[in-house]
Amino acid sequence: AQSVTQLGSHVSVSEGALVLLRCNYSSSVPPYLFWYVQYPNQGLQLLLKYTSAATLVKGINGFEAEFKKSETSFHLTKPSAHMSDAAEYFCAVTIGYNNDMRFGAGTRLTVKP
């Protein structure tokens, strides 16, 4: 079965430090992968998506993610954290041959001043 595992339910970094949020997937077909962000008391919005065009994907707000097939990973990174990056981040994968999607459990990012 297709699924997503996000390692670490909580990640805390200092402002200006590297952000690394981990996501591993399993899929029986070539996956399409997504990262969504949920700011406090708001809905989810798309950060970036991998659709097989390029393995390094750049998204909004300086985030990027690299698809590594050999590691079945799609980790999210940002070189320098801002206080405004504090939010919940969800990795997701489309499953099967339809538009169904499964989300990871989420990682809450805290940014310390």
Partner 1 sequence: GAGVSQSPSNKVTEKGKDVELRCDPISGHTALYWYRQRLGQGLEFLIYFQGNSAPDKSGLPSDRFSAERTGESVSTLTIQRTQQEDSAVYLCASSSGRWGRSYNEQFFGPGTRLTVL
Give the span between the Cα atoms of 57 and 13, in whole angstroms.
22
Binding footprint of partner 1 on the chain (CB under 8 A) = 6, 29, 32, 34, 36, 42-46, 49, 51, 90, 92, 94, 97-106
Question: What is the nearest approach in angstroms of partner 1 to the Cβ of residue 61?
Answer: 16
Between β-strands 10-14 and 107-112, what pairing exists: parallel, antiparallel or unpaired? parallel
Tokens found for residue 31: 């996956």
Question: What is the nearest approach in angstroms of partner 1 to the Cβ of residue 102?
Answer: 6
Nearer to partner 1, 70 or 98 (CB): 98
Question: What is the nearest approach in angstroms of partner 1 to the Cβ of residue 16?
Answer: 27
Cα end-to-end distance, the chain, whole Å:
41
